[in-house]
A and B are shown apart, each in its own frame.
Chain A
Amino acid sequence: MAIVGTSVHRNDAWAKARGAAKFTGDIRLPGMVEVAVVRSPHARARILEIDTSRASQINGVLGVFTARDIPGKNLVPLVFQDMPALAMDEVRYHGEAVALVVGDTREAAWAGARAVDVKYRVMDAILDPIKALDKDADKLHGNDNVFRRWTVKKGNVDKALQNAHLVVKGTYHTPYQEHLYLEPQSMVAWWSDEGYIEVHGSMQCPFYVRDAVAAVLGLDLSSVHVIQATTGGGFGGKEDVPSTIAAHAALASFLTGRPARLVLSRDEDILVTSKRHPAVIEYESGFDEQGRLLGVKARYVMDAGAYATLSPIVLWRGTMHAAGPYRVEHVDIEALAVATNKVPCGAYRGFGEPQIHFAFESQMDIAADKLGIDPIEMRLKNALEPGDTTATGQVLKKDVGLVQALNAVREASSWDSRFETPGRKQGTVRRGLGVSAVYYGVGLGAAGQALDRAGAFVQVMYDGSAVFAVGTVEMGQGMVSQLSQVIAQELGVSIERVRALPPDTNLLPDSGPTVASRTTVMSGNAVLNACARIKQQLLEATAGILNEPVDALTIEPGRVTGKNGAATLDEVLHRCFLERRDLASTGWFKSPETTWDEKKGQGSPYMTFAWAANVVEVEVDTETGVVTPIEIWAAHDVGKAINPAQVRGQIIGGSLQGLGYGLMEEIIHKDGLMQNNRLSQYIVPTIGDAPKINAIIIETGFEHGPYGAKGFGEQPLIGIAPALANAVYNATGKRVKTLPITPERLFAALHDDKTVD
């Protein structure tokens, strides 16, 4: 009986459902103190003086610390080395950390933080990324405010567009998106006078946290012991930010000699933690009369915020995907991440892809409409298929499920009998259908290849139970269950008796970050690698019991079978014990080679791609501009579903996040100050806004994936906003090129009788 491919229950569900799981906020250590952070009230200002005298006198305040107290480097190391742990001379965004206050209680620490007097001289802030690119704009970074620029080049676009039957031009604006994980950022750090520090907390990337703590305290990497605590959601928001939170907690512990905890309040978390980059995208696409895509020219500008953090690589992923999942011979993409005096943006499920998908999938829809071609047919004409070459020159292998995905949503949504030509509908309330095609490069890709490796440790006990640990984390996405399925499948142990240990930076090799939908492939293969060595031991022991050669033996649940007989797992394990066999093993996996030639703007950036198609049906109230999503059909090529229920869960959750992005989520700034950093003001969908979501799984089998699986966890979010916007167009005849499609925005489009740009 196969365990891989079945919807076993999550093995962390019971503990989480009854509140037994210990999150960082539940950790209590003897003598533990609390940390509060003094934050900039300005978008940009010079720090003239920090007066801590009043704060220090508050009852329960144990210390007030600034950049001058940092024993190591004042640095949170990420892609660039540009972000301080605590601002030194200048604050560069609303909410930037200026000082730490340590208190006996959270109340004392917060009272102390309010009492720190910081004198600022307010400076003119740079708030608009397009203006930041002006030659004479004030400079926040380098000589042009550009953190990073990437290009993709192929063929001769200008000529292709000149010769095209139809050229579609559009400018698209996309908003910030806040992760709103259930658990706010939290860390506990515990300095030992023996010369090492232990850090427990909510995180996606224990090895990034380790690097940051080592930098600020000036310690060896081996003296920083990071252990992930149960983590209540990440979505990319716990990729880079925990490094800063841990640096603050570690400084507080180091400087007071007490275990120190920092838990951000929700308002603080929304204010200061990374978000999805807002973007401005200018896009031109050329088509022939049959609707074939001839050329793509795009300029993709991201508002990166005050520090580079992950922007260079978020931009890279967006750039790699900017031409869409289509065959196209002529391509010219330029992408820029630009510095502004706003919150540093970083990773959020999709990582630079949702913005550009919104642009090219709107373009595709406009072209289909102008050419009188059915929107799904339009995509099928151009869809990448096995053996095709992508815009960057990557030759695709067999696992390209885009055509299947498009056909699947076409059939499931009864598209052919229900799709009506756009803009001809009547009545106050109108229904519409929209489609999107999506692709997602699995793993870190060529830009992050050095980090694309993963380690594992697996041990089978003599009673038939097993433990394992990997260097990637469980953050709610279901990693532990999937890897437990792999171990149960490979070693015949009962899945109920497989236990996961938390990632630990001292006991596991640096496995890179838990991002880029890479865990199933990377840690899955590392676990397989560890299991292979243990499996060999089990088989050799069984060979002795059954008197059969190793290659005649098969591991099944609870037993090992040969041609003539079978041994129970208990018998096999007893034999292993007597024979002193090693049933513990590490495992290792590094991703297949990927390439990127920056000069040419070409390469094979990803080990493979996941593919998807979405159909969204909406109902639009044309008098109020309110868009009600009615139903979503989402088909995803995941290679192989190790746990189909979890795959469906990812599709449903990601689709809902995509609806939030498309319909309601936005951050509002006034003079560079964030206005809506509260749960009542930053609006995300609730279950009351959720339509019926139909998840369809397509399995094409990835040659390097465990059992053929690819990563795809981010993909469900990416294509929902464009399908939604296309559905709104289908219902109303109005093309909205700015997200989110709020009632206010759509009302203006419907009643001002012009397209909103």
Chain B
Amino acid sequence: MSEYFRPLTLGEAVNILADKHPKLVAGGTDMMVMVKSGYRPQAWMDLTALEVLRGISLARNELVIGAMTLHAEIAQDPLVQEYARALADAAAKVGSPQIRNMGTIGGNIANASPAGDLLPPLYALNARLDLVSKSGRRIVPVNEVFTGPKRTSIRADELIGWIRVPARDGLWSDYARLGTRNALSISKVGVALAARVERAGGGVARLRDCMIALGSVAPTVVYAESAMDLLEGRQLTGELVQQVALAAQNDARPIDDIRSTAAYRRAMVAVLVRRLLERVE
């Protein structure tokens, strides 16, 4: 039998974390699948009573999203839609309405699936995680957290408190994915793009600080670094878009698995990157 804790305050939660190293459960949309397969930890800590970790606010040019905020809430939130549209789009595409009304952003991060839909937008948007433990808080860039499929550098005595997403006026972001069907599907490929769009005198756009993050095509989300370099500050012509799409394809390191093939995934990185760039306004 597992021990079960449901702390009412963050202070209580970090104490239990330090003492018992429990497995954390938020919406349970990933954990319950493991439980069904026979997974039984020594102790569970249920985070659903931690109201402090729910909700979205804007503070000092940052969107601060509580780790217990639901996908459905993120998808519909006007602030997220304004400052981090890629994240809102990705949240709207997770699973089904039932899953979006149970699953949380913190859970999606902690589960560390290479196919997690919220992760590419968080990478592209330079999000940081606010990790809380008995010994204090540390803020870590999201791209430093994932060490492999289902593995993170989050310590056993830490929990994800908040996700901090830079909120900059004029930042363009967008997310595109291909799944196995139109709902209730895990991504075969997911691509997030974020950039500042410059349009001198109404001419051809140039992208600055462009970030492209690729999901489901490597053990963790990866940046399409060569594609990002190619784009930086240059006129977004049709020719450049083609070059960037091909470059992004080579930044991916996909594998064959039961959802798709490496060859298809690689080709789709190019298609999705090109389509995202064509949507830039």
Binding site for B on A (CB under 8 A): 110, 114, 265, 623-626, 664, 668, 675-676, 680-681, 683, 685-689, 743-744, 747-748, 751
Contact = CB atoms under 8 A, between A and B. Distances in A.
**Chain A interface, DSSP helix/strand/loop, else mixed:** loop
A623 B271 contact: yes
B178 interface: yes
Given A623-B271, A624-B268, A626-B178, A680 B186 contact: yes
Interface in B165-196: 178, 180-186
A747 B264 contact: yes
Contacts of A625: 264
Contact of B181 (A110, A664, A676, A747): A664
B154 interface: no
B200 interface: no
A747 B268 CA distance: 10
Kindly name the residue among B33, B36, B258, B267 whose own CB sees the greatest number of chain A CB atoms within 10 A.
B258
B76 interface: no
Nearest to A114: B38
Given A623-B271, A624-B271, A751-B267, A743 B185 contact: no
Nearest to B274: A623
A92 to B, nearest CB: 24
A743 B184 contact: no
B75 to A, nearest CB: 16
Contacts of B96: 686
B260 interface: yes
Contacts of B181: 664, 683, 685-686, 688-689
Contact of B258 (A265, A675, A685, A751): A675
Contacts of B259: 681
B163 to A, nearest CB: 25
Given A623-B271, A686-B183, A751-B267, A744 B260 contact: yes
A689 B182 CA distance: 6
24 contacts: A114-B38, A265-B36, A623-B271, A624-B178, A625-B264, A626-B178, A664-B180, A676-B258, A680-B186, A683-B181, A686-B96, A686-B181, A686-B182, A686-B184, A688-B182, A688-B183, A688-B184, A689-B181, A743-B178, A743-B264, A744-B260, A744-B264, A747-B264, A751-B267
A151 to B, nearest CB: 38
Nearest to B33: A680
Nearest to A666: B258
A675 B260 CA distance: 13
The 4 closest A-B pairs by CB, nearest first: A688-B183, A688-B182, A744-B264, A683-B180
Given A624-B178, A686-B182, A747 B258 contact: no
Given A689-B183, A743-B264, 9 more contacts: A110-B38, A683-B180, A686-B181, A688-B181, A688-B182, A688-B183, A744-B261, A744-B264, A751-B267
Nearest to A685: B181
Nearest to B272: A624
A625 B267 CA distance: 11
Kindly name the residue among B178, B181, B183, B263 whose own CB sees the greatest number of chain A CB atoms within 10 A.
B181
A623 B176 CA distance: 14
Interface of B: 33, 36, 38, 96, 178, 180-186, 258-261, 263-264, 267-268, 271
A681 B180 CA distance: 9
Nearest to A675: B258
Contacts of B271: 623-624
A688 B182 CA distance: 6
A624 B188 CA distance: 12
A265 B36 CA distance: 10
A410 B81 CA distance: 46
Nearest to B264: A744
Contacts, number: 46
Contacts of B267: 747, 751
A664 B96 CA distance: 18
Contacts of B261: 744
A218 B38 CA distance: 37
Nearest to A265: B36
B258 A681 contact: yes
B154 to A, nearest CB: 24
Contacts of A680: 33, 184, 186
B268 A683 contact: no
A744 B268 CA distance: 10
A687 B182 CA distance: 9
A676 B186 CA distance: 13
B9 to A, nearest CB: 33
A685 B181 CA distance: 7
Contacts of A743: 178, 264
Kindly name the residue among B33, B264, B271 whose own CB sees the greatest number of chain A CB atoms within 10 A.
B264
A689 B33 CA distance: 24
B95 to A, nearest CB: 10
Contacts of B263: 748
Contacts of B258: 668, 675-676, 681
Nearest to A625: B264
B72 to A, nearest CB: 16
Nearest to A628: B182
B182 to A, nearest CB: 4
Contacts of A624: 178, 268, 271
Contacts of A748: 263-264
A623 B271 CA distance: 7
Kindly name the residue among A675, A680, A681 whose own CB sees the greatest number of chain B CB atoms within 10 A.
A680
Contacts of A265: 36
Nearest to B275: A623
B90 to A, nearest CB: 17
Kindly name the residue among A624, A688, A743 whose own CB sees the greatest number of chain B CB atoms within 10 A.
A624
Nearest to B178: A624
Nearest to B257: A675
A624 B271 CA distance: 7
Contacts of A626: 178
A680 B37 CA distance: 13
A641 to B, nearest CB: 31
Contacts of B183: 686-689
A680 B95 CA distance: 10
A393 B258 CA distance: 45
A680 B261 CA distance: 17
B264 A683 contact: no
B185 A683 contact: yes
A653 B237 CA distance: 47
Contacts of B186: 680
A484 B183 CA distance: 38
Contacts of A683: 180-181, 185
A206 B211 CA distance: 62
Nearest to B270: A623
Contacts of A668: 258
A675 B257 CA distance: 10
A751 B268 CA distance: 12
A565 to B, nearest CB: 60
A743 B260 CA distance: 9
B191 to A, nearest CB: 12
Nearest to A744: B264
B113 to A, nearest CB: 11
A744 B188 CA distance: 11
B150 to A, nearest CB: 15
Nearest to A683: B180
Nearest to B185: A683
Contacts of B182: 686, 688-689
A625 B271 CA distance: 11
A370 to B, nearest CB: 31
Contacts of B33: 680
A424 to B, nearest CB: 23
Nearest to B184: A686
A748 B181 CA distance: 19
A624 B268 CA distance: 7
Nearest to B186: A680
Nearest to A676: B258
A741 to B, nearest CB: 13
A685 B182 CA distance: 8
A623 B178 CA distance: 12
